[in-house]
Each structure stands twice: as structure tokens, then as C-alpha cells.
Amino acid sequence: MSSVTGVMVAHYDELLDELRQLDPYITEAMAWVVVRGRDLRLTVDDVVSRLGGDSGTISRRLPLPPSADPTAAAFEQRGDNVMIVASNTYGFSRPEVLAALTKDAQAWGFWWLVNNAHKLFYAADGHLVTTVQIPDFDGHLPCGGENPQALDSYLDGLRALAEEKCEDDEAGDYGVSYPDWPTALATVEAMTGVRLEASWFMQEQLCVSRVPRLS
């Protein structure tokens, strides 16, 4: 696990640009989550089941374009981690979903919707430990959850973003585009050591057409 760097932020900026060319819809509302068991290694089947899905319906296909069903998701086993990518879901905002997903496990992720609702989060052992909002222009980085400080060592990139926005606002520099989503995605990588790449979306992945708890 590492700190967020400019190179990492640039990687996710480029990833989102590539995805827009493949399918603009996916970049408007997406979730990326990494799950890891505490003592026992979780599998894709385990994670699908925890989300209310039927592991018997897992099939290999391209994750893009997203399924018409908003409860669809794609999964990959990365060593001891299970990666989840879903489109247009509010499911990871629900405490009961994270409680089921993180029984004797941990989950780190970031989700956003077209209405700008979003959350960077860390959940563990059935609890939503920390949530983080993308900073606005007041220099403040809003954190919540049962332990708002639990992710402090990984938030340097978002703190720098908060400072930049505040300085620009005070200087009257308006209309600047900021790497909000790329910085949050880079923070997930920093917390987990797992990287999401554009090429992943161009290869067949383990997909489930209906994952009920993501509805």
C-alpha cells in the first residue's frame, strides 16, 4: 500500500478518457470496490453470494457495454482480493450491503452517480468505518463513518486537491477542471495495491447479470 502520486492520478484520468471513448455511459455512474477476507481467502463466488447473487449465473463476457439491468456487475479474482466493477449502482452506499459484504472481511471502494452523489469508503467486519467526500472549494475534506480518521494516511492526494481548489477559489480562478474522480480512484489503489486499467474493460471478465443487493 502506498501514497497517492501524480502518476497514479494521471493513470486514472487517462483510464476515464479511454472509457469515454468505449462507452460514455460507464464514466457517468460507476463503482469500483476491492474486497479482501480477514483470515480466509474470499473467492468471486463468495462475493457474488454476499451481494445476493447466484454464483451459478456467472458467465464470461466483456463488461462493456454495461448490462441494461442496473444490478449487473463484473468481478475478478486478484490474489487474495476480489475486484467488483458495477455501473449506476447506489448499493454500496447501504450499510446492510456493506455489512453482508464485509463479514470477516474488508472492502475499499469509490462509487459515483450522474447526479454527483459519490463516496470513497472503507468498510470492515460489518461496519462502515470511514467515508470521504470529494472536497469542495472551502479547503475542507469531509470525512465520516464510525472512525473518520481511519484513512488519514491515504488521503494526501485528496487533501492536495482540496488545497488547490481553495487557493483557486480565493484567487478567482473559476472554470478549472479538477481530477476529482481520478484522485479518488487513485486513493483506492493506494489503499489496496490493486490497479484498474482500461484494458480490463476490453477483456472478458466474470459477470453476473443480476446482483440483487446492488439495486
Q: 7-27, pLDDT tens digit by residue?
A: 999 999 999 999 999 888 889
Question: Got the DSSP string for 35-70?
Answer: EEESSS---HHHHHHHTT--GGG-EEE---SPPSST
In a domain, 77, yes or no: yes
Sequence-separated (6 or more) residues with CB below 8 Å from residue 104: 37, 38, 39, 40, 125
Sequence-separated (6 or more) residues with CB below 8 Å from residue 152: none
In a domain, 179, yes or no: yes
In a domain, 32, yes or no: yes
In a domain, 45, yes or no: yes
Condensed to tens digits (0 to 9), the pLDDT of residues 58-89 reads 999 998 876 666 678 999 999 999 999 999 89
Pairwise CA distance, residues 22 & 198, whole Å: 10
In a domain, 1, yes or no: no
In a domain, 66, yes or no: yes
The percent of residues above 70 in pLDDT, for the chain, comes to: 97
In a domain, 59, yes or no: yes
Bridge partners (DSSP) listed for residue 51: none
> What is the β-pairing status of strands 81-87 and 105-112?
unpaired
Number of domains forming the structure of the chain: 1
Domain that holds residue 110: 6-214
| pLDDT confidence tier of residue 215, bands split at 50, 70 and 90 | confident
Identity of residue 60: R
In a domain, 104, yes or no: yes
Judge residue 170's burial from the number of C-beta atoms within 10 Å of its C-beta, 0-12 exposed, 13-18 middle, 19 or more buried.
Answer: exposed
